[in-house]
């Protein structure tokens, strides 16, 4: 049988393995960690957001990458991902924001079903096998039993990005590819929190959610919520504007998105009497203590003029000290550029070696776009790798 090797047992690698095995190849997965898909399992801890139920064009517009990537995701988009999960026995539901989750919320039932399916297809899993080098046609691994070598007919790399190294995606594969003449774009954090050097006044708000706000940075505006942490600001709305902030755009927050600036100013202009400004803000605008604290933190001294104060409340500028360390980011941009790949995601410099998932150079917000793109590229690379290996065998027989 034609031997296929998949390196990396995250969602992209498992998807590729499934395609290769269904095409009739003998598949081995090599995974550096003692167990597969650790980041996928971590993703499920806060509710596994598999995809987003929205029109395909809208979905594709959220994924930053070349036309080739759009086409790959279009062939395994939000509907296909939901059907795939159902096919693995996991019913899904769509939340109010259109985000799609498995009913179980976590990743483990889906992963168990996926691994059981691979097992039925005869896929072998080598755990604790860290890919360290390419030696001609051989793939070299550091394993608990010393160095091991595999000589596959075709390989799919699905090694992940450069964050959460403890879960396996340590980005060390970049140097293996460089040793073989394949160069990557530097990793950049994506979907991450930002450091804020808080004054002592903010301490009692650490851990507090800031709900019903509108965030604006660069070309992106989003309604949502975030969290004030001892380190800075994080959470879904921050992640949604994080790429723009990373690239230098100023973050402003509308603390009352459902009231116009004129309405806010008119309310603030009401007779204040002896009431403190904090109480006036609370009474006239129903601002909660954390929102008032943020206002004081970033705009002190607050303007006395209602119009000027309304302007600040509707667009509070947030000064930060840059992104949190890359290892804490939900995902990373950078990695293997698409111009190093052919239409089937084969590395042009390394015939017979394909690549998929977050290790490729694309970017997307949270909201299910990340997993959908990893699954779609894993499926595409797996199918193309199977076709390539089968055509090589057919050529050899001629």
Per CB under 6 A, residues contacting ligand FAD are 7-13, 30-33, 38-40, 42-43, 48-49, 130-131, 158-160, 164, 168-169, 172-173, 330-331, 357-358, 366, 368, 370-371, 374
Burial category of 223 from C-beta neighbours within 10 Å (exposed 0-12, middle 13-18, buried 19 and up) = middle
Give whichever of 158 and 295 is closer to ligand FAD, judged by the CB atom: 158
Q: Which is nearer to ligand FAD, 160 or 382 (CB)?
A: 160
* Distant-in-sequence, close-in-space partners of 347: CB < 8 Å, separation ≥ 6: 157, 177, 182, 336, 340, 341, 353, 354, 355
CA 192/CA 235 separation, integer angstroms: 8
The distance of closest approach from Cβ of residue 42 to ligand FAD in the complex, given in angstroms and rounded to an integer, is 5
Please, what is the minimum distance in Å from the beta carbon of residue 59 to ligand FAD? Answer: 12
Cβ of residue 164: shortest distance to ligand FAD, in angstroms?
5
Q: Which of 156, 159, 157, 151 is nearest to 3 (CA)?
A: 151
Nearer to ligand FAD, 18 or 49 (CB): 49
Looking at the Cβ atoms of 18 and 366, the one nearer to ligand FAD is 366
CB of 300 to ligand FAD, least distance (A): 34
Number of CB atoms found within 10 A of residue 149's CB: 11
Q: How far is the CB of 366 from ligand FAD (least distance, A)?
A: 6
- Closest contact distance (angstroms) between CB of 337 and ligand FAD is 16
Tracing tokens 């293996």 back to the chain, one arrives at 176
Query: 63 or 213: whose CB is closer to ligand FAD?
Result: 63
256 vs 356 by CB, closer to ligand FAD: 356
Cβ proximity to ligand FAD: between 115 and 371 the closer is: 371
Residue spans of beta strands (DSSP E) within the chain: 3-7, 26-31, 51-52, 92-94, 99-102, 124-127, 130-135, 138-143, 146-150, 154-157, 185-190, 194-195, 209-217, 220-228, 232-234, 251-254, 316-318, 331-335, 353-355
**Least distance between ligand FAD and beta carbon 127 (Å):** 10
DSSP assigned state of 248: T
Which residues lie across from 140 on neighbouring strands?
A: 133, 149
């Amino acid at each position: 049988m034609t031997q296929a090797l998949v390196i990396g047992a995250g969602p992209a690698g498992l998807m590729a393995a499934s395609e290769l095995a269904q095409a009739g190849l003998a598949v081995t997965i090599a995974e550096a960690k003692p167990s597969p898909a650790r980041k996928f399992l971590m993703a499920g801890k806060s509710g596994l957001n598999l995809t987003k139920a929205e029109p395909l064009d809208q979905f594709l517009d959220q994924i930053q990458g070349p036309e080739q990537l759009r086409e790959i995701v279009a062939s395994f988009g939000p509907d296909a991902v939901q059907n795939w999960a159902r096919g693995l026995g996991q019913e899904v539901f769509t939340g109010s924001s259109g985000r799609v989750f498995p009913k179980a919320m976590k990743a483990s039932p889906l992963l168990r079903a996926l691994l059981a399916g691979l097992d039925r297809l005869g896929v072998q899993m080598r755990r604790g096998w860290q890919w360290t080098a390419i030696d001609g046609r051989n793939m070299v691994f550091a394993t608990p039993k010393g160095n091991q070598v595999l000589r596959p007919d075709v390989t799919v790399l699905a090694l992940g990005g450069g964050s959460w190294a403890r879960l396996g995606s340590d980005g060390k594969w970049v140097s293996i590819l460089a040793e073989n003449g394949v160069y990557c774009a530097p990793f950049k954090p994506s979907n991450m929190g930002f450091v804020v050097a808080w004054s002592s006044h903010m301490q009692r708000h650490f851990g507090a959610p800031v709900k019903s706000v509108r965030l604006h940075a660069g070309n992106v505006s989003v309604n949502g919520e975030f969290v004030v942490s001892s380190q800075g600001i994080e959470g879904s709305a921050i992640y949604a504007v994080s790429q723009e902030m990373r690239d230098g755009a100023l973050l402003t927050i509308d603390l009352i998105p459902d009231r116009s600036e004129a309405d806010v100013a008119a309310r603030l202009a009401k007779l204040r009497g002896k009431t403190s400004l904090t109480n006036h803000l609370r009474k006239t605008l129903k601002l909660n203590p954390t929102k008032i604290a943020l206002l004081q933190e970033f705009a002190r001294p607050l303007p006395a003029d209602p119009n000027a104060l309304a302007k600040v409340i509707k667009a509070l500028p947030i000064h930060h000290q840059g992104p949190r360390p890359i290892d804490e980011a939900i995902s990373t941009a950078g990695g293997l550029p698409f111009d190093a790949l052919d239409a089937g995601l084969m590395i042009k410099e390394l015939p017979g070696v394909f690549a998929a998932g977050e290790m490729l150079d694309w970017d997307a917000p949270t909201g299910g776009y990340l997993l959908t793109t990893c699954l779609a590229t894993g499926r595409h690379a797996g199918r193309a790798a199977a076709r390539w290996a089968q055509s090589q065998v057919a050529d050899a027989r001629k």
